[in-house]
């Protein structure tokens, strides 16, 4: 029987404390007959003390359907139920969800922040505890809510029990502009009579050390503290700022993002009855809006059992977890220790069989635990995290593998995409992409999880967002981050900072690719999730970047006086100057400017701004003509002709208008130029022996461009290359995540001597999109995967592959296998969507459209000869005056 499987509110399965008065609804349908499409939906809304509301609409909309009722008020609860009808069948059963708003107005807050006395501003702030004893009447209560946030990080407790599963709350945002709060249901935790509310407060990102080269403290404020309001059935029973709040130090002596934690188990921890307590001090009220956090909270998403214990040549004890990840170590046993102290140092790699800690630079990444009489089973640091595979543990006598476990932390996005194939190294490469995504989505999209950085670099996510949005449901995570980016950009008069939240530790300078995140990442989110609201929210940021952020020359292209990071980390760039690759930096910047201008046109059109869309489209073509005048000779030679340069023109369809091609004898000169550039790209790839010669700008598109220009065999050969620089060279050296550099680890086991070397950077993992879109063959044709392309492109030595993605409409998947000169393709299309199918072996131009359900196809097909032939020095230059610039 057809039924609704998932009913969600603003991308979320639960709707406690939401921050919007008019939440949108989405649902997926399951157990539907083949070719099912929705014909109508009904929504019923019930609110306390108000008449029942019913809304019926003939529509196939099922993603982010507008709220049908009047806006909700603060703390208001609505019981919502939904059912749908196919185009030719009965209604589905009702599915219900409860929606409850948080505190939507500033005047809803009666609490005032509190803290302990101020300390020195130039050293770490020791975490401290706060407590409040309050009394609950014996009468029954139906709803108990805690609204809570902090200047810094908090971990809250009620009667000694941790509240919720969140870690690093309230998360990292642009505290200059807004402060998120969380809502917790304590109905089943409070007890009649006396209750003790407690909290640990740590400096976190708010006041802790941030930034590379030693960083900076107190970026957002010098005092850390708590803001909390506890309500029973709408009545405030405890709030920070009133009498009775006390503070005390405890077992956590220090806990810093970069440097780790010092813990003394002889001192009290979660027993808020113990300690030397003093009256808390008041802090100024927040000067920025308090907003309900909509990004998924950081939580424990997995655990890892250690694989082996190693004794190093110097006699150190190192635990190998077998996987590089972002997280912490948790004790499963009480340590036995001769001198009463355990020290744990973390690193991603070994160098010559010792802990390779040089790449983490100024970060100490160290836990120091002083033992006491209290059990440490379950101990895990509070306000720090590390990127590591290896842990050097000193002082633990008789350490065994069963004594500890690795705890994987991540903003708790739902896993959405998967990929596997017959080639084990390619499958492992894809897993590396997943692990790097997880480690670099701890509250924000970061560059790395291990060294003195861990910042929201805008260029990294700009190139990686499509891949991330296939692997995980990024709808809330990235849309929240984009709000911070827009706030930071507004503070900087249109310039997009190179990382967001902006830490103020660098002079902000406009940079192509990094700044283009303001345009391209919202559009990537829209493509993945069909959320027009993201485009509407970010449109001012889009306009501001292109109007005020980009420093232009007389032609409208980037000013040559503005330095650019270019094709960052291209393999041929010198180790200490990664912006000095072979591709002209301004060529890269201008190609991305054209790409962003085209995307701005699409965004404007999607939100109903047709005139602005036309203007951006015309501007993109004008910039393209200026680009050709600047970078292409009259005989058709491209300045700085590299893999990256050619990929940018081909992938982003950067070709001049017809007026610049007058005099050409070709019936379609633009197509002719496209073919010639594609041939030149193949020649360059072959000349490089199919090794990667791209950095940030070219890597996300090099394999895609080869495939889209009819050169799939060359794409596979580049993917399957094993020499450095290549993706598989890293896998063959034992990589379990994506590296920052192609040669982060040298073949002799020595860490790259460059000052900037990370073993967990997701940007070069954008290759996973080629696996999804071309090997697997899945690509959205309409925003939100309403219409899907199924076009697997076998090649190389891959004989089978499968990929799937949990789209806003449900699971879409493709699997294929080649056997006995035939390819068999199985696809699954979710209800209320269609797929356009094109199979290898079909004659050119043939395609089939299928509706929802499971479908099977067979086609005669034989894998072509592989690998392609080696390079021979042949180029096909455009003859002089073949076209005129």
Phi and psi torsions of 586, nearest 5°: -75, -30
Distance CA 728, CA 722 (A): 5
Q: Among residues 203, 612, 740, 882, which one is catalytic?
A: 740
Give the C-alpha distances (Å, rounded to integers) separating 685 from 583, 675, 680, 681, 708.
15, 15, 9, 6, 15
**Both ends of the chain: CA-CA distance in Å?**
63
Q: How many CA atoms lie within 13 A of 550 on its CB side?
A: 28
Question: Is 740 an active-site residue?
Answer: yes
Alpha-carbon distance of 152 to 172, in angstroms, equals 9
Alpha-carbon gap, residue 146 to 137, rounded angstroms: 17
Distance between CA atoms of 161 and 156, rounded to whole angstroms? 8
- Nearest CA to 461 out of 767, 785, 766, 695 is that of 766
CA distances from 354 to 314, 348, 392, 393, 518 (A): 8, 11, 9, 12, 42
Which 8-state DSSP code applies to residue 522?
H
* DSSP 8-state code for residue 546: I
Helix runs in 632-668, H state only: 643-651
Q: Which residues share a beta bridge with 281? A: 115
Is residue 168 within 8 A of residue 137, CB to CB? The reply is: no
Radius of gyration of the chain (CA): 28
Q: In angstroms, how far apart are the furthest CA atoms of the chain?
A: 93
Burial bucket for residue 843 (CB in 10 Å: 0-12, 13-18, 19+): exposed
Query: Buried b vs exposed e over 268-277: b needs ≥16 C-beta within 10 Å?
Result: bbeebeebee
d(CA 841, CA 480): 44
- Which pair of structure tokens corresponds to residue 364? 């100490």
The answer to whether the beta carbons of residues 876 and 679 sit under 8 Å apart is yes
For 237-280, the DSSP string reads EEETTSTT-EEE--SEEEEETTTEEEEETTS-SS-TTSS--EE-
Residue 101, both tokens: 């708003």
> Among residues 44, 453, 641, 882, which one is catalytic?
453
138 is catalytic: no
Residue with tokens 């000694």: 160
Question: 545 with 519: CB under 8 angstroms?
Answer: yes
Q: How many beta carbons lie within 10 A of that of residue 554, not counting itself?
A: 7
Is the bond into 725 cis (omega within 30 degrees of 0)? yes
What's the token pair of residue 258? 């970069």
Distance CA 827, CA 835 (A): 9
Spatial separation of the C-alpha atoms in residues 799 and 863, rounded to whole Å: 8
Backbone dihedral angles phi then psi of residue 629, each to the nearest 5 degrees: -65, -30
The string of DSSP codes covering 767-791 is GHHHIIIIII-EEESSGGGSEEEE-
Tokens representing residue 582 in the block: 């072979």
Six-digit token string for 200: 């640990």
- Reading the block at residue 747, the tokens are 């073949």
Contact 452, 215 (CB under 8 A): yes
Secondary structure string (H, E, C) spanning 197-219: EEEEEECHHHHCCECCCCCECCC
Active site residues: 453, 740
């Amino acid at each position: 029987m057809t039924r609704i499987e998932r009913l969600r509110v603003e991308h979320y399965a639960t709707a406690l404390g939401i921050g919007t008065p008019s939440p949108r609804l989405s649902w997926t349908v399951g157990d539907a007959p083949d070719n099912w499409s929705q014909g109508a939906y009904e929504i019923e809304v019930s609110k306390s003390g108000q008449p029942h509301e019913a809304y019926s609409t003939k529509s196939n909309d099922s993603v982010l359907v507008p709220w049908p009722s009047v806006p909700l008020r603060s703390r208001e609860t609505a019981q919502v139920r939904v059912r749908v009808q196919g185009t030719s069948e009965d209604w589905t059963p009702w599915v219900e969800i409860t929606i409850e708003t948080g505190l939507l107005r500033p005047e809803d807050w009666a609490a005032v922040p509190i803290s302990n006395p101020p300390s020195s501003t130039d050293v770490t702030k020791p975490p401290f505890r706060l407590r409040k004893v309050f009394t609950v009447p014996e009468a029954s209560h139906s709803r108990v809510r805690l609204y809570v946030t902090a200047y810094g990080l908090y971990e809250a407790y009620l009667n000694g029990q941790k509240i919720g599963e969140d870690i690093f709350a309230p998360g990292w945002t642009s505290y200059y502009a807004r402060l998120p709060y969380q809502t917790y249901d304590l109905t089943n935790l409070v007890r009649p009579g006396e209750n003790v509310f407690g909290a640990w407060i740590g400096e976190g990102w708010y006041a802790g050390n941030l930034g590379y080269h030693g960083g900076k403290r107190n970026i957002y404020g010098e005092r850390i503290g708590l803001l909390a309001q506890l309500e029973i059935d709408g009545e405030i029973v405890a709030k920070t700022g009133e009498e009775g709040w006390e503070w005390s130090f405890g077992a956590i002596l220090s806990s810093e993002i970069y440097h780790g934690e010092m813990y003394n188990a002889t001192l009290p921890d979660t027993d808020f009855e113990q300690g030397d307590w003093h009256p808390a001090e008041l802090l100024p009220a927040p000067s920025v809006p308090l907003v309900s956090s909509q990004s998924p909270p950081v939580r424990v998403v997995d655990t890892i059992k250690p694989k082996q214990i190693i004794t190093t040549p110097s006699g150190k004890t190192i635990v190998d977890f077998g996987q590089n990840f972002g997280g912490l170590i948790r004790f499963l046993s009480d340590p036995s220790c001769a001198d009463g102290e355990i020290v744990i140092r973390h690193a991603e790699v070994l160098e010559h069989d010792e802990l390779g800690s040089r790449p983490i630079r100024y970060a100490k990444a160290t836990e120091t635990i002083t033992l006491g009489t209290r059990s440490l089973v379950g101990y895990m640091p509070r306000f720090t995290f590390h990127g590591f595979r290896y842990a050097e543990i000193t002082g633990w006598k008789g350490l065994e593998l069963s004594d500890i476990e690795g705890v994987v932390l991540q903003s708790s996005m739902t896993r959405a995409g998967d990929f596997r194939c017959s080639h084990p190294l390619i499958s492992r490469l894809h897993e590396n992409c997943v692990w790097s995504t997880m480690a670099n989505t701890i509250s924000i999209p970061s560059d790395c999880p291990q060294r003195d950085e861990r910042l929201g670099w805008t260029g990294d996510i700009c190139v990686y967002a499509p891949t991330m949005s296939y692997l995980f449901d990024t709808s809330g995570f990235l849309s929240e981050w984009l709000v911070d980016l827009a706030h930071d950009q507004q503070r900087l008069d249109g310039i997009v900072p190179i990382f967001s939240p902006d830490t103020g530790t660098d002079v902000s300078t406009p940079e192509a690719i990094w700044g283009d995140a303001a345009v391209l990442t919202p559009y990537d989110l829209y493509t993945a999730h069909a959320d027009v609201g993201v485009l509407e929210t970010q449109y001012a940021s889009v306009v501001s970047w292109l109007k005020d952020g980009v420093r232009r020359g007389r032609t409208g292209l980037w000013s040559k006086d503005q330095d650019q990071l270019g094709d960052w980390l291209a393999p041929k760039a010198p180790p200490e100057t990664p912006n000095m690759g072979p591709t002209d930096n301004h060529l890269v910047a201008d190609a991305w400017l054209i790409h962003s201008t085209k995307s701005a046109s699409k965004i404007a059109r999607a939100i109903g701004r047709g005139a602005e869309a036309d203007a951006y489209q015309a501007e993109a073509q004008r910039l393209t003509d200026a680009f050709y005048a600047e970078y292409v000779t009259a005989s058709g030679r491209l300045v700085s002709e590299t893999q990256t340069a050619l990929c940018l023109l081909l992938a982003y369809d950067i070709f001049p208008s017809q007026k610049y091609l007058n005099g050409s004898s070709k019936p379609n000169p633009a197509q002719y130029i496209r073919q010639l550039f594609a041939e030149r790209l193949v020649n360059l790839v072959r000349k490089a022996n199919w090794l990667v010669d791209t950095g940030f700008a070219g890597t996300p598109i090099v394999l895609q461009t080869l495939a889209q220009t009819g050169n799939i065999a060359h794409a596979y050969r580049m993917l399957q290359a094993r020499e450095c620089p290549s993706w598989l060279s890293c896998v063959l050296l034992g990589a379990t995540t994506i590296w920052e550099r192609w040669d982060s680890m040298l073949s002799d086991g020595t860490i790259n001597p460059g000052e900037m070397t990370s073993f967990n950077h997701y940007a070069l993992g954008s290759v996973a999109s080629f696996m999804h879109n071309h090997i697997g063959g899945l690509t959205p044709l309409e925003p939100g995967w309403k219409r899907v392309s199924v076009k697997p492109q076998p090649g190389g030595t891959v004989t089978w592959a499968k990929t799937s993605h949990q789209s806003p409409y449900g699971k879409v998947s493709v699997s294929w296998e080649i056997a006995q000169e035939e390819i068999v393709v199985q696809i699954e299309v979710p209800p209320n969507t269609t797929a356009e199918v094109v199979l290898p072996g079909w004659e050119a131009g043939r395609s089939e459209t299928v509706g929802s359900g499971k479908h099977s196809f067979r086609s005669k097909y034989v894998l072509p000869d592989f690998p392609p032939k080696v390079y021979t020095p042949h180029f096909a230059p455009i003859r002089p005056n073949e076209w005129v610039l």
